[in-house]
Amino acid sequence: MVTGAAGGIGSAIVRALIEQGAEVHGLDRDAGAQQALQQALPAGARYRPLRVDLANRVDCDRSLVELRGALAARCDILVNNAGLSELRAFDASDDALLDASFALNFDAAFRLTRSLLPELRASGRAAVINIASELALIGQPGFSVYCATKGALIAWTRALAVELAPERIRVNAVCPGPIDTPLLQREFDTYSDSSAARAAEVAAIPLGRLGKPSDIASVVAFLAGDGAAFTTGTAWTVDGGKTAR
């Protein structure tokens, strides 16, 4: 199962898991994007879309009933990818932004994983992968709320990995750097010169380019598979070397 499945990174994760033979249940609140993703997938792809607003507890709980029936009592892979990022100075970060950011970036992953524990336990080899961020590891002006939510996600990942290890449930996080998606472009567009903002971001990356959604998806697919059978409690940084400076 993949949340935020129809976004830039989410859709790449869906494709990567389908290529590995998975049947993917994709959760996203954007019905149009879900339809576009379905149409772009290869013929025969086993993809089941579910429209749900994960930040809305009532909507999430309602959808879990439908999802639990579709999973047939087993979930091998859970990717908590849905997230919210907004550039805003700390002194302008109101309670509404704080609540909305934690609701989607942390609370949704926590509650969804807790709700699906019976299905994850039934797998016998389940993998939970939380999509955090480089900004859980470094600070950046204008993202204090986002940094806090993603930092919480990594701390929870480590704690849960230790707690669930005896049940053969692995829990890892992936920390993307700047990934070339419409979401990142909208961030660049908040600056007076979006081209200059993009160029400055690229200049801060030792590998000299923005990441691609497939860069994240390939790491998620690895962590979901048997090749990572001895890997749990980690935070994989996929940022072109940005945080290594």
- Give tens-digit pLDDT for 60-115: 888 888 888 788 789 999 999 999 988 899 999 999 999 999 999 999 999 999 99
* 84, 164: one domain: yes
Between CA 81 and CA 13 the distance in angstroms is 9
* 155, 189: one domain: no
Between CA 92 and CA 80 the distance in angstroms is 28
- Give tens-digit pLDDT for 2-17: 999 999 999 999 999 9
3-state class of 188 per DSSP?
helix
The answer to the question of residue 243 being in a domain is: no
* 121, 226: one domain: yes
How many folded domains does the chain comprise?
Answer: 2
Mean pLDDT (whole number) for 210-231: 97
* 132, 22: one domain: yes
* 136, 203: one domain: no
The answer to the question of residue 244 being in a domain is: no
Is a pLDDT exceeding 90 seen at residue 173? Answer: yes
Helices (H), 135-193: 144-164, 182-188
Between CA 201 and CA 144 the distance in angstroms is 18
* 157, 187: one domain: no
The answer to the question of residue 126 being in a domain is: yes
146 is catalytic: yes
* 132, 200: one domain: no
Q: For 4, phi and psi rounded to 5 degrees?
A: 60, 35
The answer to the question of residue 245 being in a domain is: no
* 204, 227: one domain: no
Mean pLDDT (whole number) for 184-205: 93
Contact 131, 109 (CB under 8 A): no
The answer to the question of residue 59 being in a domain is: yes
Tell me the pLDDT band of 23, cut-offs 50, 70 and 90: very high
The partner residues of 3 in beta bridges, in order of sequence, read 27
Buried b (16+ CB within 10 A) or exposed e, 83-118: bbbeebeeeebeeeeeebbbbbbbbbbbbbbeebbe
Mean pLDDT (whole number) for 220-244: 97
Tell me the pLDDT band of 183, cut-offs 50, 70 and 90: confident
How high is the mean pLDDT of the chain?
94
- Domain CATH code at residue 33: 3.40.50.720
* 112, 172: one domain: yes
* 164, 99: one domain: yes
Residue span of the structural domain in which 165 resides: 2-176+212-238
* 138, 224: one domain: yes
Tell me the pLDDT band of 59, cut-offs 50, 70 and 90: confident
Ramachandran assignment for 241, one of left (phi > 0), alpha (psi -120 to 50 degrees), beta (any other): left
* 95, 112: one domain: yes
Buried b (16+ CB within 10 A) or exposed e, 146-167: bbbbbbbbbebbbebbeebeee
- Per the residue annotation, which of 106, 146, 156, 188 is the catalytic one? 146
